Amino acid sequence: MKMLIMGAPGCGKGTQSEILAKTLNIPTISTGAMLREAIAKGTEVGKEAAMYINDGKLVPDNTIINVVLDRVAQDDCKNGYILDGFPRTLAQAEAMEKAGIKTDVVLMIDVDKDVIIKRLAGRRVCSKCPATYHITDNPSKSGDKCDVCGAPLITRDDDNPETIKHRLEIYAESTAPVIDYYGDKVVKVKSVGTVEETTKSILKALGI
Ligand code: G5P
Ligand code: MG
């Protein structure tokens, strides 16, 4: 299955794509995570991305398109993948299609704005692995350490009120219109309850 997960910042794309990837036994590809890794390694892409991510702006289309096209061409994507956070502009969606990359289904996680703010304000992420927590809704068992690898939990640099505001504006302007581009491939799931409840709704909506 070639699936895209879309939705506003903090709706749960990363959390749900990690769970679905295990269920479906396919890799999850998060463009946000790839860019943060590039920043941490100090690569050319990372140096460029840092200027945008820290302001809550989108990284230029050409930069991210090349990163994604290289990644989905790798062997582990032969049986499918879940793309988290790409495409985010019409130009990115068109570039995928032009490169002959088909999409089977687009999962759109729909979350009200007040819930988004709460999810982002309480999010903690592992400083080493992709694990994501929430201080009240999805806490780590040990409080400030990752349950998976034991590394300290941190707050993402772009989870501050000013940057969150920019990210939400850019989502409404540039990314929400991409959902219409996919027409009847879109499966919309409202996320209101716990992580587990959202996963159940998603699996049901996808017929898995
Ligand atoms: P990212 O990293 O893709 P965003 O802003 O799209 O960033 P983000 O913040 O990573 O999305 P998410 O993945 O949708 O949010 O949400 P999450 O981390 O899984 O969950 C958020 C919180 O809610 C967590 O605390 C989690 O525990 C909790 N939670 C999750 N699900 C549930 C649930 O069902 N119930 C409850 N109660 N809680 C839940 O991109 C970052 C930046 O990279 C650049 C941009 O600059 C972007 O701002 N970038 C791109 N630029 C250009 N083009 C692209 N394609 C780009 N991709 C990334
Ligand atoms: Mg994410």
CB 92 within 8 Å of CB 61: yes
pTM of the model: 0.96
- Cα of 203 vs centre of ligand 1, distance in Å, is 20
Annotation marks residue 118 as catalytic:
no
pLDDT tens profile 4-27: 999 999 999 999 999 999 999 999
Rounded mean pLDDT, 34-52: 95
pLDDT tens digits, one per residue of 135-178: 999 999 988 999 999 999 999 999 999 999 999 999 999 999 99
Closest-approaching ligand to the CA atom of 6? 1
Whether residue 107 contacts residue 189, with contact meaning beta carbons closer than 8 Å, is answered with yes
- Which secondary structure element, helix H or strand E, spans residue 163, and what is its range? helix 161-170
pLDDT reported for residue 143: 87
What CA–CA distances, in Å, run from 18 to 10, 13, 22, 34, 92?
A: 14, 9, 7, 14, 23
The Å distance, Cα 13 to ligand 2 centre, comes to 5
Across the chain, mean pLDDT equals: 95
Report yes or no: 38 and 64 within 8 Å, Cβ to Cβ: no
Strands 153-154 and 123-126: antiparallel
Between vectors from CA 21 to CA 17 and to CA 26, what angle results, nearest 5°?
A: 135
